[in-house]
Amino acid sequence: MRLDHLAIAAETLEDGVAWAEVRLGVSFQAGGKHARYATHNRLLGLADGLYLEVIAADPNASCDGARWFGLDKFSGPPRLVNWICEPDDFHEFMVYGMRKVAMERGDLRWDMGVPPDGSVPLDGGFPTVLHWHTDTPPGRSLAPSGCALQTLTIAHPQADDIKNALSGKLTDPRVRFVGAQEIQLSAAFETPRGVVTL
């Protein structure tokens, strides 16, 4: 299993991008629209083939069903809500209600694990999984931003269970699990202005 990207949700894409750009000190690049879920995004290339995504509901599109990433219920300031991994065996991780959904955006094609209600697994504690059908996913094609992921911390009441479920599958030393009563994702980035935590 390989960490692919991190997602920041926002009530509007403009608010989310502004929030992230002010903190990181870099500009996000164009993303696109996801017609299947009536969302749109902007992207930031990180070191080591990773990327950071800001995603929000597209006000000019309608969705037949629930939007992914829990966006139908999202409110409040922008924040990190999801971490997305590509496992060697995609079907092994169809857990916590995830089902395979074929996705596309422009020339990109991929399969995504999405529960019917659009939620994220264990409220973001467990990674959403995908499988790319391209040799150049965004993490390999986006222009470098000068930013790199230092650590991703998942604070969750079931932190030990999640860690055990991923043991031997996800070996990225940057990903850490911490037991906590409240669920929270936080990521520290090395940026041109120093280490910044979102």
Domain ranges in the chain? 2-145
- List per-residue pLDDT tens for the chain, 198 residues long: 999 999 999 999 999 999 999 999 999 999 999 999 999 999 999 999 999 999 999 999 998 899 999 999 999 999 999 999 999 999 999 999 999 999 999 889 999 999 999 999 999 999 999 999 998 999 999 999 999 999 999 999 999 999 999 999 999 999 999 999 999 999 999 999 999 999
Domain 2-145 has CATH 3.10.180.10: yes
The Cα 184–Cα 178 span in angstroms is: 10
The Cα 56–Cα 76 span in angstroms is: 12
pTM of the full structure: 0.96
The Cα 51–Cα 28 span in angstroms is: 10
